Amino acid sequence: MVGPLSGIRIIDLTTVIAGPYATQMLGDMGAEVIKIEPPVGDIMRAPGPARSPGMGAAFLNCNRNKDSICLDLKNSNDLSRLVDLIAEADVFIHNMRMNAARRLALDPEALNKRFPRLVYCAITGFGQDGPYRDRPAYDDIIQAISGWAALSSDPDEPPRYAPTIVADKTAGLHAVSAITAALLHRERTGQGQAIEVPMFEVMVSFLAVEHLAGKSFLPAEGPSGYNRLLNPWRRPYRAADGFIAVMPYTAAHWKSFFTAAGRADWADDPILIDDGQRAASVGQLYKRLSECVVHKTVAEWAELLGKLDIPFSPVNRLDELEGDPHVQATDLFQKVDHPTEGKMLVVRPPVRFSHTPCSIRRLAPSLERSVR
């Protein structure tokens, strides 16, 4: 069996994380992905840890299921070679700034005119209709300008970046969904099209789902920011011997929890019954939760909360995930042999299809072995 995108050819002129993460997912789903790299390679090859130069862990983790071809786009022959590859492809994706793409005649107007069935996807920092369209952008910049870095309930708390490349990966996910939708449209109509995935707009949309809040209304019914998520008591709670995540959500959850914790007075609090009152009082409830959790061990809470069907989980460290029982049962981590890097631990494609499963057909290519 082959993946749902088997037979789709993608020319991937992306670097760093957003584009490579997107094209890896498309490759996992069966697409043939040809990664175009400059002679020095994708800049993301450099960051370690690594066993050999140009094969850093982050590069390995977002470039499987791809072939690699080195082309110097300053060279007219190599640029012509790229256009020849695009002519035979279903999808062309890049994350250049659009003025650079136009200088190379790789803009959507030029390519869609020549290849009307082509699905063209540009991952940009900013939408091309706005004044920021020509600015360079990386994940930290987008976290800052989108409101993510300053998202806090405490106005005196300094802004902070998330400890993951959240803007890049979110943009990559949007690119995957847009490309597959455009391929479906082409299947129905025979018509290709251009897609723009601007990271700034993507992250504003991502955050607005819950955090637009009172600003959703005109006139505003309050400030932006979803109170439950910004409350300082929303955090893993200290138990007698460690930390545990506990999340009573419904009225029944809260009443059961407080009853089990020996706090009948809190279990009978009328604010638990009304969804609106409970939401408005969530900070108080989380504080009460923390005062209860500290009196039992993590194992005791896990047993009790499991019986009560109240959502909970251990607080895993990244280094502990491989040993998680569910991770082991689902074979999420898999051991593979890379042709140049030796034994590696990889995360299999997490999405499963019943008839056209994803697969890891090849591991990330070495620059030295790139096909010319």
Catalytic residues: 168
Whether residue 219 is preceded by a cis peptide bond, meaning omega within 30 degrees of 0, is yes
Question: What b/e sequence results for 67-78 when a residue is b if at least 16 CB atoms lie within 10 Å of its CB, and e otherwise?
Answer: bbbbbebeeeeb
Contacts of residue 332, defined as CB under 8 A and 6 or more positions apart, other chains included, come to 347, 348, 350
Nearest in space to 240 (alpha carbons), one of 267, 258, 256, 261: 261
**Whole-number Å distance between alpha carbons of 302 and 290:** 15
Which stretches of 29-156 are DSSP H helices?
Answer: 57-60, 76-87, 98-103, 108-114, 139-145
Distance from C-alpha of 101 to C-alpha of 363, rounded to nearest angstrom: 29
> Torsions phi, psi of 318, nearest 5?
-55, -40
The residues, ordered by sequence, that sit 6+ positions from 6 with a Cβ below 8 Å of its Cβ are: 30, 31, 356
Instruction: Please give the Cα distance from 217 to 235 (Å, whole number).
Output: 29
Long-range contacts of 230-237 (CB under 8 A, 24+ apart): 230/151, 230/152, 230/153, 231/153, 231/282, 231/283, 231/286, 232/153, 232/154, 232/283, 233/283, 233/286, 233/287, 233/289, 233/290, 234/282, 234/286, 236/315, 237/289, 237/290, 237/293, 237/294
Residues β-bridged to residue 331: none
On whether the CB atoms of residues 225 and 211 are closer than 8 A, the answer is yes
Closest to 305 in 3D by CA, of 248, 365, 232, 234 = 248
CA distances from 191 to 84, 145, 184, 188, 194 (A): 20, 35, 10, 8, 10
